[in-house]
Amino acid sequence: MLTNLQQQPADALLALIKLHNDDPRADKIDLGVGVYRTGEGDTPVFRSIKAAEAKLVAEQDSKAYLGPEGDMGFVEALMPYVFGKADPSMGGRIEGMQTPGGTGSLRLALAMVKRAGYSRIIVGVPSWPNHAQICADLGLEVVEFNHALASGTTDMDALRAAIADAREGDAILLHGCCHNPTGIDYSNAQWDEIAGLIAAAKILPILDLAYQGLGKGMEEDAYGLRRVLAAVPEALICYSCDKNFGLYRDRVGALYAMVGDPADLARVMSNGHNLARANWSQPPDHGGAAVRLVLEDETLTADWLAELDEMRERMREVRAKLAEAGTAGSADLTPMGGQNGLFSIVPLNKDQVLAMRTKHGVYMAGSGRINVAGLTMGNIDKFIAAVADVTA
Ligand code: LMR
């Protein structure tokens, strides 16, 4: 019977990790999967996380189970950063649970909406490929609209039309900041409008916040999410600590639900707990506990925020250098200067992306997405020359 299973393609993005590792060229450049890199090309463990891990090893006295919700100290310590310091639970209307990374959070959120009776998820494309993959696996229909224009700005008309066409009972999945894969975010004024449109259409917002702090700042990157939450009765929020705490392989994330009436919250969250139990039972503890220890300690928190500032600053420098280059062959790199987060799209076709890899040893996603943090002052000229060559 197992032989009935069809061969599945390897995940195109994750497959790049191995292809890059196997390439013997010393000057190869990895712009594939989204991990932050320093100016030296490293992805070190954060200083603040190292210190928290040392404390964890010294002080943790048990590894007994915590339950499907994971470490609630971690979940609650994040809330002021996500929802604002004034009233992080919005009057008792928000509660969360720990999940294995942002993917675990999305999986639970989408399974919850399916269970609640939703069948259509509105998504701006291109999007992170796993969004559509999880929807497909759960039997949810994805309704696509165009996220961005070739000029490098968001396509607000397409978003307005998608919301106007929505049926009551649809959900919309939006990237809170640092859009993956385009780096093209909504402005604050656009978020103000979006919040009103979603509220008027009575559709459920699912907000994916996987890069908080890597766009404009921790507070700035939460603007859209908070604006939407202030306008609607219900929402789901999917959070990842992979990038802003550098915990990628430790799988640290959280799912938050906001409801209109606090009396409904425990019932809604019981579905998250029950789905977690059926999927992974309980989230891995280590990374979440380390984040909690960082956030419980003022000195470690300040150091973590300084590390985030440094990362953001470096990505801004890389983006400024790309914009300064202007064009590379027929590719316009200028818009990248104003984009946010780890990603941008270089306008290359599939053959050109392949030529970047085979001829120049530059690894990037098939969509033309680059991880700008993979560029350094030492390899950026080679990258620009390679783009010029393949588009000449
Ligand atoms: C990415 O888009 O590169 C990251 O979100 C990593 C992943 O899991 O795909």
Q: Is position 208 annotated as part of the catalytic site? A: yes
DSSP structural state of residue 45: P
**168 has pLDDT over 90:** no
What percent of the chain shows pLDDT beyond 90? Answer: 98
- Residues 390, 392: Cα–Cα separation, whole Å: 6
Catalytic residue among 30, 191, 243, 250: 243
Q: What pLDDT band is residue 147 in, cutting at 50, 70 and 90?
A: very high
Q: Where are the alpha helices (DSSP H) in the chain?
A: 12-22, 47-59, 72-83, 101-116, 129-138, 156-165, 188-201, 223-231, 265-279, 286-296, 298-325, 350-358, 380-391
Mean pLDDT computed over every residue of the chain: 97
| Model confidence pLDDT, tens digit, residues 293-347 | 999 999 999 999 999 999 999 999 999 999 999 999 999 999 999 999 999 999 9
Catalytic residue among 71, 185, 208, 250: 208
The pTM of this model reads: 0.97
Ligand 1 binding pocket (C-beta < 6 A) is 13, 33-34, 128, 180
209 phi and psi angles, rounded to 5 deg: -115, 90
Question: Given this model, what pLDDT does residue 150 score?
Answer: 87
- Residue owning the nearest CA to atom 5 of ligand 1: 34
Mutate to test the pocket of ligand 1, among 128, 134, 214 (most ligand atoms within 8 A of CB): 128
Q: What pLDDT band is residue 151 in, cutting at 50, 70 and 90?
A: confident
For residue 179, give the amino acid letter.
H
48 phi and psi angles, rounded to 5 deg: -65, -35
Collect all residues with Cβ–Cβ distance below 8 Å to 322 and sequence separation of at least 6.
Answer: 333, 336, 337, 344, 372, 375, 380, 384
Domain edges within the chain: 11-45+309-391, 65-296
Decide: helix, strand or coil at residue 205.
strand
Q: Within 10 Å of residue 99's Cβ, how many Cβ atoms? A: 31
Query: Which residue in the block uniquely carries the two structure tokens 């190292």?
Result: 50
| Domain covering 11-45+309-391 in this structure, CATH number | 3.90.1150.10
Question: Given this model, what pLDDT does residue 49 score?
Answer: 98
Enclosing H/E stretch for 125: strand 120-125
- Residue bearing the bigger pLDDT, 182 or 9: 182
CATH 3.40.640.10 fits 65-296, yes or no: yes
| Model confidence pLDDT, tens digit, residues 186-244 | 999 999 999 999 999 999 999 999 999 999 999 999 999 999 999 999 999 999 999 99
